[in-house]
A and B are shown apart, each in its own frame.
Chain A
Amino acid sequence: MQIKEIEEGIWEIPITHKEGMIVPARIIGSDKLIKEMDEGVINQITNVATLPGIKKYAFCMPDGHWGYGFPIGGVAAFSTDVGVISPGGIGFDINCGVRLIKTNLSHKDVKPYVDKLMDVIFGLVPAGIGSKGFIKPNLKEFEQVMCQGAAWCVKKGHGWMGDLERTEENGCIEGANPDKVSSKAFSRGLEQLGTLGSGNHYLELQIAQTEKIYYPEAAEAFGINIPNQVFVMVHCGSRGFGHQIATDYLKTFGSAVVKYGIRTNDRELACAPFKSVEGQDYYQAMVCAANMAFANRQLITHRIREGFSVVFKKKPEDLGMDLIYDVAHNIAKIEKHRIDGKDENLIVHRKGATRSFGPSRPEVPQIYRSVGQPVIAGGSMETSSYLLVGMDRALELTFGSSLHGAGRTMSRMQAKRKVRGTDLRQSMEQKGISIRAVSMSGLAEEAGIAYKDISEVVDIVERVGLSRKVVQLKPIGNIKG
C-alpha cells in the first residue's frame, strides 16, 4: 500500500496507486486512526480521485469509513466549468446535518426535570418509520419550503429571525427549482416536515462541562457562559424527500455516464458534468432537498423550544434558547476557493464532512467573525459530542472542510449482536443518560462501541489545523427514532 504521512496527520496516496487517478488522495488521521481505518476507504477515496475535473486532492476526514460511492468523510471539489457533480458524493440523505441550540439553564436546573422534558419533547418531535410532522403544507407551500428553506418556517412563526444567520447558507441555498423534483419525491416528503427520522438520527440533551472548555474566547462568543450549561443537539436531514430525489437522479446518472463517456469504478459514483442538463437538473433538485432539510431542523427547533417552555413555564426567549449553529454534512455547494493563487468557483462535495470556515471567510456570520464558524461534531450517544470552530488553515488544506462526528467502526449487524437494546438503555440510564427510543434494536445499532473514539478524531483535526476544539458536550438525554 502506497500511503505516506507527508506531514503530521496528513496521509497521501499518490496517483500511481490506481489507474485513472487525476489527483492524489489524502486521508486525515492519527497513526491509530489510519491503522484502524477500513481499507475500503482507500479504495473508495482513490475512486473519487479519478472523477473528471477534480481539484488538488480527494480527501477523507479522520472519522471516515467505508460507505458507497464516496467513503463517509469524503470531500472533493470539482471545477464548475469542466468538473462533475455526483449524487454518490452527497448521499441519499441530502443535507443531513446537525444543529445545536443553547439554553440559559445549568445541569442543576434541568436535572430534576430531565425525564419530564424527554417525555414532552418525544411527544412533540415525531420520530421513527412512518411518522408525520405537525405541519401539513399543500403542494404550493411545499414548493415554497424547497425555495426558501428555514426562512419559510420563520415567516410562518416557527422560528426566530436570529436563527437564519446562525444556519449555514442562512438556511437557504440559492438555485432551488421544484420543477426538477419528481411527483414521487413531493408525495413522499410532504408529510415529513418536522420529523426526526430513524437510524443514526437523534435529538440529544447535552451539557457543556465547564472543565471541558478548551477555547474560552470562542465559548464566550457562542454564548457558553454558565457552569455546566444545557444544550440540545439535533441530527437529521431531508427525510424521504431527499432519499427519493437521490434515488431518482442516481438512475438518471446511470445513463448520463454513458452519454458523456465518463468511466467510473463504481455505479454509486455515477456523475455528470456540472454544466450538463443532467448535472444542473440534479443540482437544482438537490438544493430543494437541502432547503427542505434546513426547514425540517428549524421546525424541530421550534418544537424543542415549545417543549422547554411547557416544562419550565417560561417563554423560550427567557430560556435563552438561541441557535448556536446549523451545519450540513451531506451536501454539494458552489464555493469560491483559491487554487494556485487564483479564486475559482468549485462544486465542493462533502459526504459525512462539515464545512469548517475560519474567521477570514465572509460566509461566517458577523456575530462569530472574530472566532470562525461553529463546527458541530456529533459523537455516539454513549460518549460525547464536540463543538469546534473553523480554522483558516482548513481553507488551504481541505477546501475548508472538517469532521462530522465520531465515525462508525462496527457494522449495525455486529453492534446488534454484541449489545441488546434493553440492556444498553439500562446501562445508559445508570450513567445518567435518559433514553426515549422508538426502536430498541435501532438503539443497539447506535451503541457507543460501534463508533471510533471521538476524542482521538477531534484531536487530530485540531493538530492538523482544520478546526479547533471549543467544548466537549456530554449527553444527559437521547431521543432516537
Chain B
Amino acid sequence: MRRSVFSGGAFFYDRYIMWKYKFLEDVAIADVAFVAQGKSLEELFANCATAAFEVMVDTKQVAIRQKRNIRLENDKVEELLVDWLSELMFLKDKDKILFKEFRIGIKKSGIYRLEAQALGEKINTKRHRLRTDVKAVTYHLLDVYKKRNWMARVVLDV
C-alpha cells in the first residue's frame, strides 16, 4: 500500500506561510487540492477564490467587465467557505463569467455573514487560455484555521 500523504498525519500550514495559495500534489488524485492563507478572513476567502479560478484559467488574462453581488451566511466558517466557492462555481456556469477580483466583508455576530462583490469577465475563448473546469467544492479534508494568519485547505472536484 502506498501511504497517503495526509491520511492521519498532522498538517503543517507554516510551511506555506509565504504563499497566498499553493496547490498540493499528493492530496487528491483525481481532484485538485490547495492551501491558502490571508491576514484576515476576507483575504483568505479572496485567495481561495483566486486559487479556484486559477485552476480554470490564468486569471491575469481576465479583465474586469462584470460584477456580481453575493450574500451568504453560515454558522460555521469552513462551511461558509464552501458556500462562497460553490456560489462562484454556480455563477461561472450560469453566467459564463471568470472572476479575478473579490471585495469581501465578513461579520460574525452569532453566525458568519458574508457580503461580497466578485469581479471578472465573460468567458472569451479567444483571449482566455482555459484550463480544467471546476465541478464542485468538496468537504473532503476541509480545514479553516487561524494561527498567525487565517489558513484553509480545500479540495475541488474537477
Contact = CB atoms under 8 A, between A and B. Distances in A.
Contacts of A267: 139-140, 142
B30 interface: yes
Contacts of A69: 140
B69 interface: no
Contact of A409 (B29, B125, B138, B141): B29
B116 interface: no
A34 B1 CA distance: 7
A37 B29 contact: no
A65 B29 CA distance: 7
Given A128-B130, A243-B136, A414 B25 contact: yes
B132 A439 contact: yes
Interface stretch (A197-205, A318-326, A384-392): A197-205
B30 A65 contact: yes
Nearest to A1: B1
B3 interface: yes
Nearest to B140: A68
Interface stretch (B10-18, B38-46, B84-92, B103-111): B84-92
A72 B31 CA distance: 11
Contacts of B31: 67-68, 412
Given A68-B138, A267-B139, A412-B32, A128 B3 contact: no
Contacts of A154: none
Contact of B125 (A188, A244, A417, A438): A438
A254 interface: yes
A240 B93 contact: yes
Contacts of A28: none
Interface in A259-297: 266-268
Report whether over half of chain B's contact residues are helix, strand or loop; otherwise say mixed: loop
A388 B137 CA distance: 34
B148 interface: no
Contacts of B29: 38, 65-67, 72, 408-411
A37 B1 contact: yes
B131 interface: yes
Given A128-B125, A266-B140, A412-B30, A199 B1 contact: no
Interface stretch (A39-47, A169-177, A364-372): A39-47
A53 interface: no
Interface residues of A, number: 59
Contacts of A411: 25-30
A103 to B, nearest CB: 29
B132 A441 contact: yes
B130 A438 contact: yes
Interface string A63-95: 001111100100000000000000000011100
A128 B132 CA distance: 8
B93 A246 contact: no
Residue among A43, A268, A411 with most chain B CB within 10 A: A411
B128 to A, nearest CB: 8
B147 interface: no
Nearest to B78: A267
A200 B30 contact: yes
A188 B90 contact: yes
B148 to A, nearest CB: 26
22 contacts: A34-B1, A37-B2, A39-B3, A40-B7, A43-B7, A65-B29, A68-B28, A68-B138, A68-B155, A72-B30, A129-B57, A129-B131, A132-B96, A199-B135, A244-B93, A247-B90, A251-B83, A266-B140, A267-B142, A409-B29, A438-B130, A439-B129
Interface of B: 1-4, 7, 23-32, 56-57, 79, 83, 86, 89-90, 92-94, 96, 98, 123, 125, 129-133, 135-142, 155, 157-158
> What 7 A-B pairs are tightest by C-beta distance, nearest first?
A68-B140, A198-B133, A130-B123, A240-B93, A267-B139, A92-B136, A40-B4
